[in-house]
């Protein structure tokens, strides 16, 4: 089953501290209150650490995590992205 995303809803989540410049993009699923967060490992020259079977969307990268909520607040999304970057030793 393919996941469909709502073209009207996406959000860029960035981490720009300590001389870092990383960005991910969140897409809202059409039929569920779920936002999938994608990161372009190749664009940053970082080895993809996700399972090979993880969803990848062309130029946006690979899904790294999801936020289960109808709405996503920028600050909360950035905090979760920063935490993901830290846990995976990217920052």
Q: Tens digits of per-residue pLDDT, 66-78?
A: 999 999 999 999 9
Whether the CB-CB separation of 78 and 26 falls below 8 Å is answered with no
| Residue 68, pLDDT score | 96
Q: Is the pLDDT of residue 85 over 80?
A: yes
| Residue 48, pLDDT score | 95
* 1 CB neighbour count, 10 Å cutoff: 3
| Residue 31, pLDDT score | 87
Q: Please list, in sequence order, all residues whose beta carbon lies within 8 angstroms of the beta carbon of residue 90, skipping any fewer than 6 positions away.
A: 22, 46
Q: Tens digits of per-residue pLDDT, 1-49?
A: 589 999 889 999 999 999 999 999 999 999 899 999 999 999 999 999 9
Which tokens go with 35? 């936002």
Q: Is the pLDDT of residue 64 over 70?
A: yes
| Residue 7, pLDDT score | 83
């Amino acid at each position: 089953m393919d996941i469909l995303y709502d073209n009207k809803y996406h959000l860029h989540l960035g981490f720009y501290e300590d001389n870092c410049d990383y960005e991910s993009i969140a897409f809202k699923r059409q039929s569920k209150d779920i936002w999938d967060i994608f990161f372009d490992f190749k664009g940053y020259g970082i080895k993809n650490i996700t399972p090979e079977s993880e969803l990848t969307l062309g130029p946006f990268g690979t899904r790294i995590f999801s936020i289960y909520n109808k709405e996503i607040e920028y600050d909360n999304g950035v905090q979760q992205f920063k935490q993901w970057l830290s846990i995976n030793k990217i920052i």
